[in-house]
């Protein structure tokens, strides 16, 4: 055994003590890790792959991405996918979540031409995972829209709901015989809110007033159409589960009992992507619908900037879920702005609309990514909030992870701590709050292209050497820790304080 590996094993052995039975996760609880196509695949123009909005964005607006980084090669998973399967197996993952690149499968964005190499790439990956006993969890869309469809208006064009549904049907028809876990769209909030407000993500168009809310409505309709396609055409044969993954921020009270701003912003950022699907009545959260109608009127708009749903659309979207998929990273304390005070700042989604101010508490640890402050109990609070608002639905945590700058190399004790602390909250949620949490997914399996942060910010359980043409993956301490958790199916306690180890 190489000396460094031996050291790693010994140091892990000294920090873990065996798990108490109460720290066990329920039988059948799934542990996984996630990635997405643009962030890892590279091979942006091999064979007949079409151009996506992230190809265009990184190539034409390099100043909007750290050091002009691109996903042209990324982790080269298009060629190195076997290594990803290998490390997923080494970790003992129950599931591996990855996404399909729309333009790798449908180069022009529409189903008139399906790329054989694209079909094969995902076939190989899926079969490779299944051979190792790992369940594939497939995200159909993780932000890499075909540029051609963007040129026609992208998520602001109502026709996108059919374009997406067509794409989803193709994906299901090729892979649904082997894939049982599906996510239609990853984080509509980050597709519709962040880019349209800041221009810092593809397609780089700023239009927070109108574009953002057209996009919101269309992502919900697109998801619903895809879910119904699966439900009618594929479920009877393949019995899989389909959902949409929401990025959720935990909002906490600034002063005890000051719930109103908490509820309001939760309804805007979480409710707006959940109420239509998970509530009994469907449609927009009533409080948000009313607020937007009034605000739009006073601002001189002839109709609400949050486009109304027709009765048919409400019925189309309502109930289109098999579980709730949530991604959790960070939290904020919120309150209403005082007279003369500016609402915001980012990332409190829609805060100017609501006149809400967001802060963090001094005891929350900072990270290299300036919007991520660490607050593990926020995850538990969110799970309870979802149960209270939408009922006893199965909850699947489809992302949770710790950003670093890579200086820690393999000794990522902070990430170990982060993983431990969040899993602890998951157990509390299950055991104390009776929430039906069925799985946890670490973001990310490997370091990858972190959107506007390029390769500066790392989330990997495995380090990737981006200087090396082979893009070597090396196991970090957090991977060792997670592997132990999975093996024992239990939270592994760690000694405190962690950085003294």
Q: Is 443 in the site for ligand BGC (CB under 6 A)?
A: yes
326 - beta bridge partners? 246, 397
- The answer to whether 90 is a known catalytic residue is no
Question: Rule CB under 6 A: is residue 36 a binding residue for ligand BGC?
Answer: yes
Which lies closer to ligand BGC via its Cβ, residue 266 or residue 304? Answer: 266
Separation of alpha carbons 372 and 484, rounded Å: 26
- Told to check if 187 binds ligand BGC by CB under 6 A, we report yes
106, 63 Cβ separation under 8 angstroms: no
CB of 372 to ligand BGC, least distance (A): 8
Q: Within positions 254 to 273, which residues make up the interface with ligand BGC, using CB under 6 A? A: none
Cα separation, 95 vs 136, in Å, equals 6
* Cβ pair 180, 242 in contact under 8 A: no
The region of 105-113, 183-191, 250-258, 332-340 touching ligand BGC under the rule CB under 6 A is 183-191
Contact between 243 and ligand BGC (CB under 6 A)? no
Strands 324-336 and 241-253 come out as parallel
78: left (phi over 0), alpha (psi -120 to 50) or beta: alpha
What is the Cα–Cα distance from 445 to 462, expressed in whole angstroms?
6
Task: Closer to ligand BGC by CB, 292 or 482: give it.
Answer: 482
Active site residue 187: yes
CA distance 351 to 268: 9
Q: Which of 399, 414, 450, 463 is catalytic?
A: 399
Site string for ligand BGC, 385-424 (x = CB under 6 A): --------------x-------------------------
Site stretch for ligand BGC (CB under 6 A), options 82-90, 184-192, 275-283, 406-414: 184-192
The DSSP-derived string for 361-409 is -TTSBP-SSTT--B-THHHHHHHHHHHHHH-S--EEEEE----B-STTT
DSSP string, 436-464: -EEEEEEE-SB----GGGTTTSB--SEEE
Task: Look at residue 420 and give its three-state secondary structure.
Answer: helix
Among residues 304 and 448, whose Cβ is nearest to ligand BGC? 448
Nearer to ligand BGC, 320 or 330 (CB): 330
Q: In the bound complex, what is the minimum distance in angstroms from residue 428's beta carbon to ligand BGC?
A: 23
Contacts of 117 (CB under 8 A, 6+ apart): 46, 47, 48, 49, 104
Q: How far is the CB of 236 from ligand BGC (least distance, A)?
A: 31
Question: Which residues does 375 contact at the CB level (< 8 Å), separation at least 6?
Answer: 250, 252, 330, 331, 360, 361, 364
- State the Cα–Cα distance between residues 157 and 218, nearest whole angstrom: 8
Q: 334, 262 in Cβ contact below 8 A?
A: yes
Q: For 337-341, which contacts have Cβ atoms below 8 Å and span 24 or more sequence positions?
A: none
For residue 82, the minimal CB distance to ligand BGC (Å) is 23
Cβ distance to ligand BGC smaller for residue 69 or 318: 69
Stretch that binds ligand BGC, among 14-22, 186-194, 201-209, 338-346 (CB under 6 A): 186-194
Enumerate the β-bridge partners of residue 34.
97, 443
CB of 124 or CB of 370, closer to ligand BGC: 370
501 binds ligand BGC (CB under 6 A): no
CA distance 449 to 455: 5
Report residue 57 CA to chain centroid gap. 20
Catalytic one among 41, 187, 313, 450?
187
The residue count for binding ligand BGC (CB under 6 A) is 11
Position among 147, 150, 186, 367 found at the interface with ligand BGC (CB under 6 A): 186
Among 103, 219, 243, 247, binds ligand BGC (CB under 6 A): 247
Pairing state between β 30-34 and 395-399: unpaired
**Which of 450, 471, 474, 486: binder of ligand BGC (CB under 6 A)?**
450
Regarding 101 and contact with ligand BGC (CB under 6 A), the answer is: no
**Residue whose C-alpha is closest to residue 153's, from 207, 84, 230:** 207
Alpha carbons within 13 angstroms on the beta-carbon side of residue 60 total: 12
Q: How far is the CB of 455 from ligand BGC (least distance, A)?
A: 12
Task: Determine contact, residues 364/282, Cβ cutoff 8 Å.
Answer: no
36 vs 103 by CB, closer to ligand BGC: 36
Region of 168-176, 185-193, 312-320, 355-363 interacting with ligand BGC (CB under 6 A): 185-193
| Residue 190 makes contact with ligand BGC by CB under 6 A | yes
Minimum distance, C-beta of residue 5 to ligand BGC, in the bound complex (Å): 28
Q: How far is the CB of 186 from ligand BGC (least distance, A)?
A: 5
Of the residues 327, 330, 400, 417, which one makes contact with ligand BGC according to CB under 6 A? 327
> Which of positions 457-486 make contact with ligand BGC (CB under 6 A)?
459
Shortest Cβ distance from residue 282 to ligand BGC (Å)? Answer: 26
Residue (187 or 480) nearer to ligand BGC, CB: 187
Q: Which residues are catalytic?
A: 187, 399
The residues that touch ligand BGC, with contacts defined as CB under 6 A, are 36, 39, 186-187, 190, 247, 327, 399, 443, 450, 459
């Amino acid at each position: 055994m190489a000396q460094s590996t031996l050291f790693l094993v010994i140091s892990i052995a000294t920090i873990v003590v065996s798990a108490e039975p109460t720290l066990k996760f329920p039988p059948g609880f799934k542990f996984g890790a996630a990635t997405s196509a643009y962030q890892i695949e590279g091979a942006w123009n091999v064979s007949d792959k079409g151009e996506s909005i992230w190809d265009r964005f990184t190539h034409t607006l390099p100043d909007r991405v750290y050091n002009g980084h691109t996903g042209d090669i990324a982790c080269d998973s298009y060629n190195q996918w076997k290594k990803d399967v290998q490390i997923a197996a080494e970790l003992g993952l129950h599931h591996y979540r990855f996404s399909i690149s729309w333009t790798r499968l449908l180069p022009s964005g529409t189903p008139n031409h399906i790329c054989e190499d694209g079909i094969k790439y995902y076939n190989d990956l899926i079969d490779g995972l299944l051979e190792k006993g790992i369940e594939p969890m497939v995200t159909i869309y993780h932000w890499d829209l075909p540029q051609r469809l963007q040129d026609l208006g992208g998520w602001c064009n109502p026709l996108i709901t059919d374009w997406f549904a067509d794409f989803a049907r193709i994906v299901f028809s090729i892979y649904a015989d082997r894939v049982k876990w599906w996510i239609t769209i990853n984080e509509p909030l980050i597709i519709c809110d962040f880019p349209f407000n800041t221009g810092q993500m593809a397609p780089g168009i700023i239009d927070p007033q109108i574009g953002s809310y057209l996009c919101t409505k269309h992502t919900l309709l697109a998801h619903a159409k895809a879910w119904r396609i699966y439900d009618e055409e594929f479920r009877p044969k393949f019995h899989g589960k389909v959902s949409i993954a929401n990025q959720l921020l935990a909002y906490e009270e600034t002063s005890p009992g000051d719930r109103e701003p908490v509820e309001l912003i939760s309804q805007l950022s979480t409710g707006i992507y959940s109420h239509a699907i998970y509530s009994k009545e469907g449609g927009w959260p009533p409080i948000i619908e009313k607020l937007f109608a009034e605000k739009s009127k006073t601002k001189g708009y002839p109709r609400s900037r949050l486009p109304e749903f027709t009765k048919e659309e409400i019925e189309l979207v309502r109930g289109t879920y098999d579980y709730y998929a949530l991604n959790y990273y960070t939290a904020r304390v919120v309150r209403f702005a005082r007279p003369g005070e500016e609402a915001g700042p980012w990332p409190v989604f829609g805060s100017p609309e609501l006149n809400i101010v967001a802060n963090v508490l001094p005891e929350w640890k900072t990270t290299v990514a300036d919007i991520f402050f660490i607050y593990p109990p926020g995850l538990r609070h969110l799970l309870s909030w979802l149960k209270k608002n939408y009922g006893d639905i199965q909850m699947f945590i489809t992302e949770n992870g710790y950003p670093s700058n890579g200086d820690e190399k393999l000794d990522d004790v902070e990430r170990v701590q982060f993983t431990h602390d969040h899993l602890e909250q998951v157990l509390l949620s299950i055991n104390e709050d009776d929430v039906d949490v069925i799985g946890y997914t670490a973001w990310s399996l490997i370091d990858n292209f972190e959107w506007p942060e390029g390769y500066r910010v790392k989330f990997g359980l495995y380090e990737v050497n981006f200087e090396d043409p082979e893009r070597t993956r090396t196991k970090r301490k957090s991977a060792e820790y997670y592997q132990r958790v999975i093996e024992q199916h239990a939270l592994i306690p760690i000694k405190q304080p962690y950085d003294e180890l």
